[in-house]
Structure 1
């Protein structure tokens, strides 16, 4: 697999110019967010999106706790790096990167940073999340922190419980960020017939299309058999696990041109979501302002009517006073004439 994936080193001056324009647009977006007094999390998302241009490709693995995500990641890496079988209440978000040895550093925010001497990690960062059905709100918040940064999302669902309600809800949230999502149906080894696998794939495909409006890339795999086959060097069983097709797809996705495209799509997704959100904010503020203006105009109209009535009343009173003065004047003349 090719070496470093940092976007600033991807192919030629034209791409450097494109990146410069993208950074300028993100700078304008952040300036607009500041004027609108945007939520801190939204400004942070825009800031991270700009910084991520110079980071390694970020692959985020999501799905329910019991979908076999950790087993899937271990099979992808070809060695046991993540623990399997822990409960959702004790699981943590795990961010993997390359290192000469396996080292796990636990951070207080519910995040473990892990390094491992795995070749694929030289070319990307990989994040394994606790699960869409995890009960810990801290885990959920950190997962939501990583989703906007993801260049590619691998969504792992289980063949025995495909496309659950929590998965639908989570995917709807991913949709808001415009992420590229690849669906992985794990545990196909529990299905006895190929026809059953195809039925599950069709169900997941149709459900995904109905939810997100696009046709997804779908791979059906058996993570644990794939891991055992890799350890044993058994190519036949590895092929039967469905893993080679997924790995071939990832290799093609991680070539320089596709990485660059996905990074730009990621930035466009972040910018589009934030722009749409705050366009609605501006629209609501304008509606409130228009309502205030209408109310002021109504009050002004009432004041104008009041002023007119006051002037008419004043003119009438002055007329009465003039009449009284005229009467006094007439009586005065009569008095002196007598």
Structure 2
């Protein structure tokens, strides 16, 4: 299996940064050295966060287990898990850490054995989250994670715990990529599509082909004749949701059961039956592109800027040593001193550039706040015109609360990402106008109020009961039926008409009562959600303000750092020019030879930076031209062929090697095909459940 293989250019970039930092330190260019070491640290600490999400009972936890080839790593439980996010990343040794809230509201970190993870994340062993777990972090020395990939297993959404949906949606804001897990045996539900809409909004992944990947689990349990139709249906719904052409979002069928069984077999044969080779190739290839774009590009820009900062004084000294007249040296010193005065002016506290930057940031704040209010108004309009008229949501307060909370969390995530993008564009453009570079701001989040709690029958005691209007309509229907029947058919007709009229009246009364109930509940929910809307709006707007304030502060600190770097470079140039003026001819010749060697080494480093930048650009634009072939096996072959665009034929014969179902296993799956009699199949070891119900 091909792993995320940006490690070679990342290692080369790290060596370049270290080499340049050492050169800057040797020349006492402290700011340049500091910036290079900061870039190296960001490169080493950089992570690509992959959030695995979806409704409960879809197989998320088992999918994470299969990706890291560790059956049973994350627990599979018959009950939903608590509101706990579990991350799986690289570490030099296996370790799990539980982040727990203490009684005083603080946080405690507790190292736990891997086999105790279930104690904190499953409802059966941690009912109501009595352990107050906030996050479980698992570290593994697995090569697939060595490049900074962190897999995030989130609580299932759409279940009986509304805080799960809100928490998962809020976590999407920090995702670099999303793997949405659905079920091959059933179409995407309305709640799944709503959550996917939140995911696309929160992660801003609509136009990014690597930002969202949809996995359909239990591919081996879907009827062969239905697989192509199911894939086409899923792709069509995603195209409508994302606004991208059908097929642009990867939709891949897999069987985690077959994958885990294969891993347990120790076989070296290609594992095509499960669909995982194609799924993993698409996943790691997309992550490689995103890692190159998000983690490698900026350190190389910093390295390129450092090369220029180090080369400038050398070039000036070489030119001065080779001068034919003293006028040339005087001109060069005058130019360097003018540059020094300009930088000193820019660095002054009351400099015009600070006023200009702050003015532009205030204008950006105004635009972002206005756009945020528009987005919040859109959410409220959707609540009032869609959610409150969905009877299924009206009858399920927890799901309604979860969807509304998720909608606000999605807006918060999207706003944070837009603020980051707009800030980077503004400050980078500003820096370019003033002739200095800039490091983009780091990812930031905007918190939301949290899960809502709705009271379904608030104020219902003030409404009249159902029995009276239903009885009244029934009596009216009976009398009208009797009158009409008696007039037309006599006494017998009157009796029949009365019975028919009573039934029609009762049905009308029930319908009217239901309508009245829904209207009352709708008004009640609108009032509750209206109050929550005000709280959410205040919290999100306040969060945006804090994000912009901290980003503006970082921007000014970054610009100050760059100006200090330029001050060092100009100072180094002036010192070299002064030393050149006092050098004898013999000293100048020896110095020229030393500089030529140093200059040559820096040029070679600059060429390495350019080569790496070209490689990163190639990785970013890399096409999926060498993916593994789609599976053609008996159990998952039709699904895999459909994943490659070859629809499964409706007359595909049923498989003859379907694994036998064991009682008590696959507890979270829909009923699959009936197992063959024991005489027709060889007995299989009991498979692990595809997922815990929340996963």
The alignment's TM-score, normalised by the length of structure 2, stands at: 0.31
**Pairing 1:105–2:97 present:** yes
**Aligned counterpart in structure 2 of residue 199 of structure 1, from 229, 236, 241:** 229
| 1:254-307 deviation per Cα after TM superposition (whole angstroms, max 9, x unaligned) | 33x44233679xxxxxxxxx99862335789xxxxxxxxxxxxxxxxxxxxxxx
**Pairing 1:71–2:41 present:** no
Cα offset, 1:206, TM superposition: 0.6
Q: Which residue of 2 aligns with 1:216?
A: 249
Q: Which residue of 2 aligns with 1:321?
A: none
Q: Which residue of 1 aligns with 2:291?
A: 259
| 1:211-261 deviation per Cα after TM superposition (whole angstroms, max 9, x unaligned) | 111231111100121111122134667201111001111232233x44233
Conserved 8 A contact 2:82-2:155: no
Distance 2:66 2:249 in 1: 22
Give secondary structure in 2 for the equivalent of 1:66: coil
**Aligned counterpart in structure 2 of residue 227 of structure 1, from 254, 257, 260:** 260
Conserved 8 A contact 1:70-1:83: yes
Conserved 8 A contact 1:226-1:237: no
Distance 1:84 1:129 in 2: 13
Conserved 8 A contact 2:83-2:167: no
| 1:92-148 deviation per Cα after TM superposition (whole angstroms, max 9, x unaligned) | 311111124433222235321111232212221110111122433443343233211
**Aligned counterpart in structure 1 of residue 153 of structure 2, from 128, 140, 151:** 128
Equivalent pairs, count: 236
**Pairing 1:94–2:86 present:** yes
Distance 2:287 2:138 in 1: 21
Q: Which residue of 2 aligns with 1:140?
A: 165
**Moved >4 Å (runs of 4+):** 4-7, 9-13, 51-54, 274-277, 281-284
Conserved 8 A contact 2:184-2:218: yes
Conserved 8 A contact 2:83-2:163: no
Q: Which residue of 1 aligns with 2:191?
A: 166
Conserved 8 A contact 1:60-1:126: yes
| 1:52-79 deviation per Cα after TM superposition (whole angstroms, max 9, x unaligned) | 9962111110111111111111111111
Extract unaligned runs of 5+ from structure 1: 14-50, 265-273, 285-338
Give secondary structure in 2 for the equivalent of 1:167: helix
Give secondary structure in 2 for the equivalent of 1:65: coil
Give secondary structure in 2 for the equivalent of 1:239: coil
- Structure with a larger share of its residues in strand: 1
Distance 1:105 1:89 in 2: 17
Cα offset, 1:156, TM superposition: 0.7
Distance 1:122 1:196, change over 3 A: same
Conserved 8 A contact 1:4-1:122: no
**Aligned counterpart in structure 1 of residue 220 of structure 2, from 174, 177, 189:** 189
Cα offset, 1:160, TM superposition: 2.0
RMSD: 3.4
Conserved 8 A contact 1:104-1:114: yes
Conserved 8 A contact 2:51-2:151: yes
Conserved 8 A contact 2:157-2:164: no
Give secondary structure in 1 for the equivalent of 2:227: helix
Distance 1:258 1:103, change over 3 A: closer
Extract unaligned runs of 5+ from structure 2: 18-41, 101-132, 206-210, 297-364, 376-695
Q: Which residue of 2 aligns with 1:175?
A: 200
The alignment's TM-score, normalised by the length of structure 1, stands at: 0.61
